[in-house]
Structure 1
């Protein structure tokens, strides 16, 4: 029996979340033995080559890009680099599940920033959901001398950079192929990794770490392709909430690979963030359908 569009979209989103979490897990393991910038460079070589090849095969390089969009692609690359640096620093120094829990606030931050700077309408229900989500984040990072970790703060900064990156992406023309944008961002991260490796130093890579980097790059490509496909199939209100499966996989893999489990505060905070995010996504999808019905 053929799957419905919503079922295929949900399946693709789940695959994307597994792939991205496996990528993070592999990179965390690699950075225990390999300097961060070197790991970033080696993964960047593989992922950039794969994305560039895919862009070439799809004819993306033949598209003429307006000056306005070139500026947005460059700006997006800047925030891609900033978010990658902050994310890798946090990933190397804090439990995988805790960082994943912080990153789950991303849809809430995107909604808030869009309301503040892009004049997008946000009603009182979504405003309350955003406030609740931020309370959840505070429970996770627990600011104060007892529970706060500087790396949780770095993870929060990474999430904020990703939110700005996504808002910049919204300003691009829809005619620009997603694979071209991704390849450009991957190249920016690669160049930054090379520059950092010159300062940080380079060391021989064992076969285990080499295979993990290869695996990480592969999972990154799989995650990118499946998440793009997921968002183009089915109802976004059905598909998008499965993004939060990343937290489930992060908890499982953090326990299996690194022997770490989030404490009760982190689980409570993550639950609040996830519930708030799912409500916001469903609310936005409902309002979008209502606008389509009115204009139709």
Structure 2
């Protein structure tokens, strides 16, 4: 590889890492708000109302930023496939979450970087070095120390959660193959629309409860974080950087979750969780240094 191409790839990797870390932070903020609101509203309704807000916000941005002229790209085979992967993965994870301890579901879901890198290496022939695999393994071990899943709690829903994890990895892989001329904002809109439509179908068999102004305000805030997370995650996979470096920074979301859990719910990590957090930080620094 020439020096200029290598420099371009490194720059893309740095942008991808930043977008991944910021995007996952947005998702964690969204999840925290949703967790709070679902204490008083049905999950499907929470997701649907948030989805309406996110889709409307993104539609406005698509028009404002001049991407509406590419509306036909919404029917691009790979854009549709990505949206389908994301929507299906979202609901597979949510359904599994209703029947699994949170720690177990998170541990399974945090395997997304491993599958993303494995698929990229096998299907896209992307280069993944030994040091990157080592950092991923250390990071995942750190995740297990933080969430501390219980083996006895795994059941058939764990397989559904695993299926959702595989679909998320597939989504990231498809994202890298979407035509670079298609706006990332439009790709983001397609995902938000797919999730909203699927939650609407789910809600056809459920009852509707009144939404208070405070709940609506929180769901609009969640929609802002969700839209930002969707967009940044899409960008992270389209920078042309190395998947083996970018994907592990999904683990940063767990560190943000620990901070939010302490500030909002007063949850204090135990010694194992602190050790796992340290491993996550060290693994991230090691990948960046390499």
- 1:253–1:280 distance in 2 versus 1, CA, 3 Å: same
Residue aligned with 1:260, SS: coil
Q: Are 2:28 and 1:21 aligned?
A: yes
Residue aligned with 1:175, SS: coil
The alignment's TM-score, normalised by the length of structure 1, stands at: 0.72
The alignment's TM-score, normalised by the length of structure 2, stands at: 0.73
| Displacement after TM superposition at 1:262 (Å) | 4.6
Moved more, 243-252 or 133-142: 133-142
Q: CA separation in 2, counterparts of 1:59 and 1:52? A: 11
**1:73 matched to which residue of 2?**
79
RMSD: 4.1
8 Å CA contact retained: 2:88, 2:164: yes
Q: CA separation in 2, counterparts of 1:274 and 1:109? A: 21
Counting only pairs closer than 5 Å after superposition, residues 221-260 of structure 1 correspond to structure 2 as: 221-224=227-230, 244-260=251-267
Q: CA separation in 2, counterparts of 1:133 and 1:14? A: 14
Q: Alpha-carbon deviations, 1:152-201, whole Å to 9, x = none?
A: 76655443322111101111111110010110111111110110011122
Residue 50 (structure 2) aligned to one of 29, 43, 46: 43
| Displacement after TM superposition at 1:114 (Å) | 1.1
- 1:123–1:230 distance in 2 versus 1, CA, 3 Å: closer
**2:197 matched to which residue of 1?**
191
| Displacement after TM superposition at 1:254 (Å) | 1.5
- 1:164–1:242 distance in 2 versus 1, CA, 3 Å: closer
Q: CA separation in 2, counterparts of 1:171 and 1:11? A: 20
**1:121 matched to which residue of 2?**
127
Q: CA separation in 2, counterparts of 1:99 and 1:183? A: 27
| Displacement after TM superposition at 1:38 (Å) | 1.0
| Displacement after TM superposition at 1:220 (Å) | 2.1
**2:170 matched to which residue of 1?**
164
Q: CA separation in 2, counterparts of 1:52 and 1:85? A: 23
| Displacement after TM superposition at 1:253 (Å) | 1.2
Residue aligned with 1:181, SS: helix
8 Å CA contact retained: 1:51, 1:179: yes
Structure 2, unpaired ranges of 5+: 1-10
Structure 1, unpaired ranges of 5+: 284-296
8 Å CA contact retained: 2:251, 2:280: no
8 Å CA contact retained: 2:116, 2:247: no
| Displacement after TM superposition at 1:217 (Å) | 0.9
**1:215 matched to which residue of 2?**
221
Q: CA separation in 2, counterparts of 1:21 and 1:121? A: 29
- 1:222–1:132 distance in 2 versus 1, CA, 3 Å: closer
